[in-house]
Amino acid sequence: MPPSPPDPPDGLPAAVVDSLDGLSPAALRRLAAYAETLAAHREQESESTEQADATTEADQSTEDLPDGVPAKATLTVKEINDNRYHYWQWRDGDRIKSKYKGPVTDGE
């Protein structure tokens, strides 16, 4: 009698486990290699995003914030009727608050 298959890791969706049941050993190895590559890509992507956020925060800290805008606010761009505007945005409890800064200039 062949040994029973290993238990899937906790938190893995049942649909994924079910779809793996029909794969050959070669397909499972290709899938494992792809999963490792995808995980590495997402880690790099996450690190890049964190670095960009840190750069944005550093750039933003040099700007003078208007009254009522906390230091944790971020500068965002909203497009309204084909025009682009800068807004300060921050979280206040469960709400996101915004304060208008000005229009986006051509160089931005």
Domain boundaries, the chain: 12-62, 63-108
Give 74's strand partners. 89
Q: What is the pLDDT of residue 57?
A: 54
CB 88 within 8 A of CB 101: yes
Instruction: Mean pLDDT check: name the lowest of 17-21, 41-45, 50-54.
Output: 50-54
Torsion region of 105: left, alpha or beta (phi above 0 gives left; psi -120 to 50 gives alpha): beta
Rounded to the nearest integer, the mean pLDDT of the chain is 82
- Output the CA torsion 61→67→73→74 (10° steps): -70
Q: Is the pTM of this model over 0.85?
A: no
Q: What is the pLDDT of residue 71?
A: 83
CB 91 within 8 A of CB 74: no
